[in-house]
Structure 1
Amino acid sequence: MNRNDRAIVALVTLGHAMVHTYELSIPIFVSVWLASPAFSADAATLGVVATVGYGLFGLGALPGGVLADTVGSKRLIVGCLLGMAGSFALLSVASSVWVVAVALCLWGIAASVYHPSGLSLISRGVEARGSAFAYHGMAGNVGIALGPLAATLLLLVLDWRGVALVLTLPAVLGAVLALRFDVDERAAVADGGTETDGGEEAGDSKADAVSSWPEFVAGSKRLFAGGFVVIFAIVVCSGLYYRGVLTFLPEILGDFPSLQPVEFGGRSLEPGRYVYAGMLMVGVVGQYVGGRLTDRVQPSRVLPFAFGLLGLLALAFVPLSSVGLLPVLALCGVLGVALFVVQPLYQAAVAEHTPAGTRGLSYGYTYLGVFGVGALGGTLAGGLLTYADVGVLFVVLAGIGLAGALASFVLGRRA
């Protein structure tokens, strides 16, 4: 990697880690709110609240992608970090589920601009794109694991409001650091429009940028007229599975016989929360493997197997939960890897099937699917846990994994 590559990777890994630190700390708060007498809300209600916040995380990605193509990625990343800090400051003073909902909505709006800006910055500014995607994904998983782990550990000494207030600090510090990075956002796109890493002719990056409603409509039509329509189906399946399995997982794991709460030092420890954090940390391996695979094979060849594995793991999850602690830990470890190996694969597939000038718009639609439509997985999970049971939830998740495998197979045939 050259100097500009390293600067961009440093910027996006910082932003990615911060976004997912906050995103995956929210399920820890959900498990606390379910047990709190101050919040008379069941899993279905909190599932809807989480869906709205997470939904805006995805819905805002589309305008965020347009802004990435016009005003630049660095500005959006700094604004994202400051906005997340403000939303968690509001969460720390929430006295009802309605204020919680407002705080999560503000977090979703602020966080929504990160993925289209960060990923378009990699695709247009970094020459060693595959490795950058891998490092970017690994940083995200560090945040994914550290967020719930930090929240769990802080809950040993603070109430949840105090934890939310402490968690505002990393985003503020991250914004200060982000301002110091000097990057060329379009260094990997040649003047004539050909991508310098061996990609296809993509058109002039600035000329193709979306800056008006007619250009937005025209750019969207160009995207969905090609292979991107299949990619969108793939990322929706990924988002539904991701949010469906993670939103209530700390609570689900806590109900397993081998992970019941234990008393230690006068405090009640929740082993399920630590297993949840550990599973997400293992996801670093999945991100790295997926990123490296994008440098060696076409993503469409690997994605059907990755989604098929997710389907099988969902079917095995509940039966293995009653066998004992070691099978549960092993299953969570494999799930952590499989859940995140698909992300760099579909990110690279977007880069292969879209023009450079509308890359921000492309990733905007991608994360509209992953985190916008995918946020419905939280409502789905909350409803099934309230009105059915955990076994039905994982059967439905297995069906989503199968749908993702079929869509990936179709993409491979088109390629």
Structure 2
Amino acid sequence: MSLNANDRSIAAFTMAGHALVHWFETSIPIFLVVWLAEFDVGVALFGVVVALGYAPFGLGALPGGILADRYGTRPLVLACLGGMSLAFLVLAAASSIYAIAAGLILWGIAASVYHPAGLALISTGVEDRGTVFAWHGIAGNAGIALGPFVAATLLIFLEWSVVAAVLAVPGVLAVLYGLGAEFDPTAAVADDADAGPDEALSPAALFSDSRTLFASAFAVVFVLVTFEGLYYRGTLTYLPEILHGLPAIESLALPAGLEGIQPADYIYVGLLVVGMAGQYAGGKLTNRIAPARGLAAIFAVLAVLALAFVPVTASGVGLAPIVALCGLLGFFLFAIQPFYQNAVAVFTPPDARGLSYGYTYLAEFGFGSASIALGGFVLGEFSQTVFFAMIAAFAGIGGLFAGALLVGGDRFAGTAETLEANADD
């Protein structure tokens, strides 16, 4: 099925937003290396400074979802794009660690509203939701891969402050595009009079809607997304370091003039590129496979892939199995995302969609980031085998909750009606 004009317009707008969120996000660690040399402070302090920027990215998702329901999705996405661009201009002008911290915190706050607002816009405005979720995910992966690549390349030729300013330019252009884009943000739920912004949202209504959501199948979705986030963040944080230590990669003989290239980094970027195919395949399959069934199947595959890293990292296997395993991991790690995004749309009503996605990305990026601390502890105190066993356990538990959703999801069909009744009270 081809996309209609409204679907295409929303797709272009949200793809630009998704790509740029991750474009900015993944360029920050590249700047960290330069900042450590530029400013006379220790790694530990700068780690805290960078964490101050990343923390609001997850923790702000819930407030972002609430604001999306109240003020509409387009204004929130535009505010996100403008805020992130402004944050990088602040970084470009920074002359102290305090200014760096201010810029990073501003970026984290601005970026946090994108996922609940952008996904709520797709879920209420797009008819062919699966296809747009697929292209939306591909755009995000493109940003993940291009952000560090472009930043690192520009830093070869330009001062870091200039590079920060250059990286802000696409965000400014996206704001200008978004201001002129024409689309109906509620076209897919046109018959629902309450699908638009809720100007009268009160704390009592927020509490009531949240209580109703978590008394429904959404509670199961929230938990399984948390475990997907634990798997996702733990794997992507520590896999580059693990790949660097594998004998098959360290022993690669590079041609003269290329000795400075790190093959492990390119394998990791390749994993992210393969993730684009996973996003597309997962998004298209959401039109054919029930979200709970797809989630259960992919969680099972992810558990097997995590365990497969144990023999690969514990023995002297060749390069080909490592590359193949990373490719499979990249495909399925990102193929699962359209399924849980669609699950939120299936099990929640349109007028609470922003709130629903806010909770979803609080689970994904907020609670899921706990695996960074857990993974560091396990790798430091135990071994890579225990680390991958922990990662596999995350997938296994997520699969169990997906199975519960598959068996019992129909029992919560009244969620939308209950929320609508609350809104009328």
Alpha carbons of structure 1 residues 318 and 150: separation in structure 2 relative to 1, 3 Å: farther
> Residue in 2 aligned with 1:21?
23
> Residue in 2 aligned with 1:337?
331
Aligned residue identity for 1:400: F
Per the TM alignment, residue 324 of structure 1 is displaced from its structure 2 partner at its CA by 2.4
Are positions 1:392 and 2:386 aligned together? yes
- CA-to-aligned-CA distance 1:116-136 (integer Å, 9 cap, x gap): 111111111111222111111
Gaps of 5+ in 2: 410-425
Aligned partners of 1:233, 1:335: CA distance in 2, in Å?
22
Aligned partners of 1:23, 1:4: CA distance in 2, in Å?
29
Alpha carbons of structure 1 residues 380 and 210: separation in structure 2 relative to 1, 3 Å: farther
Aligned partners of 1:161, 1:319: CA distance in 2, in Å?
44
Aligned partners of 1:380, 1:28: CA distance in 2, in Å?
24
Per the TM alignment, residue 63 of structure 1 is displaced from its structure 2 partner at its CA by 1.2
Alpha carbons of structure 1 residues 88 and 328: separation in structure 2 relative to 1, 3 Å: farther
Are positions 1:306 and 2:298 aligned together? yes
Return the structure number with greater helix share: 2
Aligned residue identity for 2:403: F
Aligned residue identity for 1:284: M
Aligned residue identity for 1:256: L
Work out which of the residue numbers 288, 293, 300 in structure 1 matches 2:285: 293
Aligned partners of 2:249, 2:152: CA distance in 1, in Å?
15
Are positions 1:219 and 2:204 aligned together? no
Aligned partners of 1:80, 1:339: CA distance in 2, in Å?
26
Q: Kindly indicate whether the alpha-carbon contact (under 8 Å) linking 1:243 and 1:375 is maintained by their aligned counterparts in 2.
A: yes
SS of equivalent to 1:24 = helix
Aligned residue runs from structure 1 range 9-408, under 5 A: 9-29=11-31, 40-41=42-43, 52-92=52-92, 102-158=102-158, 163-192=163-192, 204-206=194-196, 211-260=201-250, 265=257, 268-321=260-313, 322-408=316-402
> Residue in 1 aligned with 2:408?
414
Aligned residue identity for 1:276: Y
Aligned residue identity for 1:226: S
Aligned partners of 1:331, 1:413: CA distance in 2, in Å?
31
Aligned residue identity for 2:402: S
Gaps of 5+ in 1: 194-203
Alpha carbons of structure 1 residues 403 and 287: separation in structure 2 relative to 1, 3 Å: same
Per the TM alignment, residue 353 of structure 1 is displaced from its structure 2 partner at its CA by 0.5
Per the TM alignment, residue 256 of structure 1 is displaced from its structure 2 partner at its CA by 2.5
- CA-to-aligned-CA distance 1:42-76 (integer Å, 9 cap, x gap): 6xx87766555333212211111111112111111
Aligned partners of 1:77, 1:258: CA distance in 2, in Å?
44
Alpha carbons of structure 1 residues 339 and 29: separation in structure 2 relative to 1, 3 Å: farther
CA RMSD of aligned residues (A): 2.9
Aligned residue identity for 1:181: A
Q: How many residues align?
A: 403
Alpha carbons of structure 1 residues 30 and 259: separation in structure 2 relative to 1, 3 Å: farther
Per the TM alignment, residue 5 of structure 1 is displaced from its structure 2 partner at its CA by 1.5
SS of equivalent to 1:53 = helix
Alpha carbons of structure 1 residues 166 and 156: separation in structure 2 relative to 1, 3 Å: same
Aligned partners of 2:67, 2:387: CA distance in 1, in Å?
37
Aligned partners of 1:123, 1:349: CA distance in 2, in Å?
11
Q: Kindly indicate whether the alpha-carbon contact (under 8 Å) linking 2:70 and 2:197 is maintained by their aligned counterparts in 1.
A: no
Tell me the TM-score normalized by structure 1: 0.87
Aligned residue identity for 1:213: P
Aligned partners of 1:96, 1:126: CA distance in 2, in Å?
45
Alpha carbons of structure 1 residues 97 and 406: separation in structure 2 relative to 1, 3 Å: farther
Q: Kindly indicate whether the alpha-carbon contact (under 8 Å) linking 1:31 and 1:248 is maintained by their aligned counterparts in 2.
A: no
Per the TM alignment, residue 175 of structure 1 is displaced from its structure 2 partner at its CA by 1.8
Aligned partners of 1:264, 1:397: CA distance in 2, in Å?
38
Aligned partners of 2:374, 2:72: CA distance in 1, in Å?
36
SS of equivalent to 1:188 = helix
Alpha carbons of structure 1 residues 309 and 34: separation in structure 2 relative to 1, 3 Å: farther
Deviation larger for 376-385 or 128-137? 376-385
Identity of aligned residues (%): 50
Alpha carbons of structure 1 residues 141 and 335: separation in structure 2 relative to 1, 3 Å: same
Deviation larger for 357-366 or 184-193? 184-193
Tell me the TM-score normalized by structure 2: 0.85
> Residue in 2 aligned with 1:7?
9
Q: Kindly indicate whether the alpha-carbon contact (under 8 Å) linking 1:61 and 1:364 is maintained by their aligned counterparts in 2.
A: yes
Aligned partners of 2:307, 2:36: CA distance in 1, in Å?
26
Aligned partners of 2:247, 2:221: CA distance in 1, in Å?
39
Per the TM alignment, residue 318 of structure 1 is displaced from its structure 2 partner at its CA by 4.5
Aligned residue identity for 1:279: L
Q: Kindly indicate whether the alpha-carbon contact (under 8 Å) linking 2:81 and 2:175 is maintained by their aligned counterparts in 1.
A: yes
Alpha carbons of structure 1 residues 331 and 155: separation in structure 2 relative to 1, 3 Å: farther
